[in-house]
Amino acid sequence: MAQEPVGIFGGSGLYELLEGAEEVRLDTPFGPPSDAIFLGEIGGRPVAFMPRHGRGHTIPPHKINFRANLQAMSQVGVSRVLGPAAVGSLRAELAPGSIVIPDQFVDRTWGRADTFWDGPQVEHLAAAHPYCPELGDLAEARGRAAGLAMHRGQTLVVIQGPRFNTSAESTSYSRQGWGVVGMTGYPEVVLARELGMCYASLALVTDYDAGLEGSPEVKPVSHQEVLRVFAANIDRVKALLSEVVAGLPELRSCACLSSSTPFPRSAS
């Protein structure tokens, strides 16, 4: 039996990870995905890569067709998805350059199509533990072994964007005890789970969001700063992705598939 590809949603700096990539254009019952899927290999293991914002980064977070993206991944046989992304930190100890693997999310988005279950069949996803613990454990262990600054047990707040937080919003989230802020982590994670897929977010900290309480020297984030820090740390993200792909067990032993009724996958 051929190995199924590992799905990766990521940015432009990650194309060159793939060896011998073949571009596959797909349509889905939920409309067109952000871009083609690039089928290739990392270290001899099949990988399906899709640029989440489209090539050239032309689709803002609130316009991404997450349902189509996940369906396209399902059409090429993906059951496990890694979601690298840039995030802002809400805590001094989660410093820029470190990588957070969230265990929880808080959804502060609005208006995004965030379920496949639109009726007539009614299903309610069990979302108490939305991320795959097996993928998370593997990424944490491999990242630490590679000398990366890894953080676990954090909550990712997903905001609508495209604007960044106000200082009041950022302070409020920080006081809730939440860890990092991003714009794309939701609904990617729950749509993956609705398809019975495993999902882990690999969140690279690029900034301290709107600033740090009690640290007036920390400047609020800008888009240029996010791009600069992400580019400076892209090799860490690549290294981690390669390590996780290489270390994935052949079969899943987590409960991601069995924890809810999987939405039927569309045919390729």
**Annotated catalytic sites, by residue?**
207, 209
Residues that bind Zn ion (rule: CB under 5 A) add up to a total of 5
Does 127 bind Zn ion (CB under 5 A)? Our answer is no
Closest approach, Cβ 66 to Zn ion, in A, equals: 19
Q: Which of residues 176-205 bind Zn ion (CB under 5 A)?
A: 198
Closest approach, Cβ 138 to Zn ion, in A, equals: 10
Q: What six digits make up the tokens of 202?
A: 């690999």
Stretch that binds Zn ion, among 95-103, 132-140, 201-209, 259-267 (CB under 5 A): 132-140
Our CB check for Zn ion shows the closer of 179 and 196 to be: 196
Q: Which of residues 135-164 bind Zn ion (CB under 5 A)?
A: none
Taking CB under 5 A as the criterion, the residue among 132, 183, 200, 237 binding Zn ion is: 132
Pairing relation of β-strands 99-108 and 37-42? unpaired
**How far apart (Å, rounded) are the C-alpha atoms in residues 170 and 79?**
34
Our CB check for Zn ion shows the closer of 106 and 254 to be: 254
Stretch that binds Zn ion, among 19-27, 38-46, 131-139, 185-193 (CB under 5 A): 131-139
DSSP calls for the chain: -PPPPEEEEE-GGGGGG-EEEEEE---BTTB--SS-EEEEEETTEEEEEEETTTTTT-S-GGG--HHHHHHHHHHTT--EEEEEEEEEESSTTS-TT-EEEEEEEEEE--S----S--SSS------SS-S-HHHHHHHHHHHHHTT--EEEEEEEEEE--SS---HHHHHHHHHTT--EEESSHHHHHHHHHHTT-EEEEEEEEEE-TT-BTTBTTSPPP-HHHHHHHHHHHHHHHHHHHHHHHHH--SS--SSTTTTS-PPPPPP-
Our CB check for Zn ion shows the closer of 134 and 207 to be: 134
Q: By rule CB under 5 A, what string of x and - marks binding of each residue 229-258 to Zn ion?
A: -------------------------x-x--
Our CB check for Zn ion shows the closer of 21 and 189 to be: 189
Closest approach, Cβ 220 to Zn ion, in A, equals: 36
Our CB check for Zn ion shows the closer of 107 and 134 to be: 134
Q: Which of residues 63-122 bind Zn ion (CB under 5 A)?
A: none
Q: Residues interacting with Zn ion, by CB under 5 A?
A: 132, 134, 198, 254, 256
